[in-house]
Chain A
């Protein structure tokens, strides 16, 4: 008997069902957080957990306005500022890292130095140890230089941490390009600057988007450096979130979930916006043109 063989391009319902189950398992924690954000304190702590409840927006309101324990009046929290900080710091540093990384990657790809690979390796070494190892020297450097607590301090730090990743990833995109196109442009009278901006960059936009999103996710969720190196004014959301844990009246899970839910939105949005580019970027070069 010949084995039954599956038509290419059709997966069938069974596989779709299995994938849905696995997908649901993956998404469940996120879903749980989002649901919790709409629960009252009692519902959030109920045993067994409640799947059906009357949703409330109180948690979202108390992210930004909270009743003071002492006076009982509603007071604005600084959460708005922290969200701004997170967005500003992450986008600026990832953007800077992408610009520097792209320029460096082009140079590494097109104008290789003697011992090019050595330099690339050195760039990568900064990512080889856990960040906690370097936290003490960096903390001291930041204290001495006055960068601690400032926007520039944390932005520069995140930029520095994102550059290796950007250089390596973007270099691989440049390496995949057909250099004949650049030569043709040179023959046709284009300057080196024009070759780079007009012909190289447009060809790797997908790759740049992918690099940007990956960098953004890493930076967005960074906690350790943000905890130690940001001040009251420059605090990011993950740090602020952690501080709500030690509230006077125990952990307010609903409030925490509401912050997390809001915190998910920008990254969801960016990823969704770039998702077509992202797919192309991730698979860049795996199929020969």
Chain B
């Protein structure tokens, strides 16, 4: 399966060519080249997925397959007992989740490429934008097919860089620059945990390789047995630190602060990176190392579940009061990733116990599709209205029918209404959660209800509520075909994806699992969703003073939620008031007054002395000649008089 290499090489080539050509190519050429390359890559991925899942002799389930591998750096030579030594490879690993991710990434990326042809038309830096998109696609694909945790880390950072570049695409806007820096620094901070986790894990197991780590080979972890640090085993520390890396990328509480700000980037970028692909990298990471989590560190896995559950509800509450439509979607993304984390956290190995894992991956798949659809729809609306604020919208359904219908489908999907895809995946997560712990299940059901509520609040505020106020003779109009085509395609996928028998393809032990609808859970969750939608309809369908009144009644809660529960303020307080003031300032003072000053003092001393010596070097040859002659005379005199 060597052709899979082209899935990685083509976007990289596209990035290099587009980046080098920059404005030498017309914007249109650059866009077409980027899109065509992505289309090829998407076709290749579909072919890979098809031949992996349906390529015969797979009746006994799916096993991981190394398409290619190449040893890049070797640290220790192979000896007995450490499994071939420690070395970093670069390769391509195909297993159910990586193949599924290939399909998700290339599909969403292709849609975003096509969409951007319309959305970014006439923007300054259009070519640069497509180059960065290619770079991102390359790094994300490299991340999912990584054969070992270090290769994943390399691409993990590359993804972070391309996210930074794309958030800061409008680099003349100070908010965008600040947001890109924030995203980069926060995720970098989390990646520090990831790196330490990798080092710990590889130190004790002697391998980076995913297959060695996740196979049933208990000998790998023998080295870590008994080693403890501060009351917990070293392995737990390692896995928890690796999860922190994942939590940073996946915007789990309390590292979620960068994601809402990342909405300063162009909307298609938000759809691609901050909704569908990069932010699920953390989920993917946990899923990739799932066998290690579940067998050796179940307590960390429980932690994953609780962090996910808290984040899900926390950000759902915030999403209910945000007024910027992209911010609402951002918090909704955080909440849905929380769902995926919970799904992973409550899962066990194999068969029905592995339902959580399967449903989490399923939710990742469906969420990528409908959240990309929501973001692209939001982009279409912003394109028409030229504003992100809900108050500037309302009554748009007449002007943009296609956007309206596709947005509605996505809203229904995320709210969990059958037969749209979100229903199936969310329902399975809820089933798995209820089996794990009823309280957590109820908590997650509540979150699901809130999801339905805020999504329909958003929907009504955009498309119904009040008549659109036409300003400066500017009538909003439907977006061009380049933008509506991806919307329709993703809407079709959203309608159909729920019926994919996902358990047949992706489970954590590779065996087929025939999931079936848990009727009680399904009915309950649909009822909750319907009640929430009803409530939203009641409050936001027409202009209604009720939301205002409620906001006044619960003014404290409302204010806190619209300030995102002051998490950003806490961060600012910690960084500005404590770290900057109490630590950085004295350090900076020491640096300037002690280290720099001693160096400067030496330089100044030398400089002062040189001023005194300087006249001697006048540059006048005649002066030199005099000195030389007299010197020679004196020397001659000394020799004649005293040397015998």
A pairs with B: no
